[in-house]
A = this chain, B = another copy of it.
Amino acid sequence: MDETQALDALGALAQETRLRIVRLLVTAGPDGMAAGAIGEAMGATSSRLSFHLTHLEAAGLVQSRRDGRSIRYSAVYDALSGLIAFLMRDCCQGHPEVCTPAVAALSACACPSPEPAA
């Protein structure tokens, strides 16, 4: 992820409704949710919801596919992990003060295998 993509992603996440949508879709898993279900969870009108979903999709954070008369939205995990990696990149240039607490927070979660394939 380059700076332009990171700025798009950060801008997309820097809005209450959109941040909640992404968090909702991440927990919803790969199948995602229908737009209507998201709108109900957000308490947003269809127009407002569509605006934010379009914004998130343009930023590459979510993707959509039609399913019958619904449209299902799901999180793009690569985009989110890419953004996190982008934010962590700097600290590795001799200043691990950012990385270490982040990894500690990670380890405190229930992630199965926190070590890479290498």
Contacts and interface: CB of A to CB of B under 8 A. Distances in A.
A106 B106 CA distance: 12
A43 interface: no
Mostly, the A contact residues are helix
A19 to B, nearest CB: 6
A10 B7 CA distance: 10
Q: How big is chain A's contact interface, by range?
A: 35 or more
B97 A81 contact: yes
Interface in A59-114: 77-78, 80-85, 87-114
Contacts of A117: 104
A96 B99 CA distance: 18
6 contacts: A10-B19, A84-B88, A84-B98, A96-B112, A107-B118, A108-B116
B26 A16 contact: no
B77 A104 contact: no
A47 interface: no
Given A14-B7, A95-B29, A116 B104 contact: yes
A101 B114 contact: no
A6 interface: yes
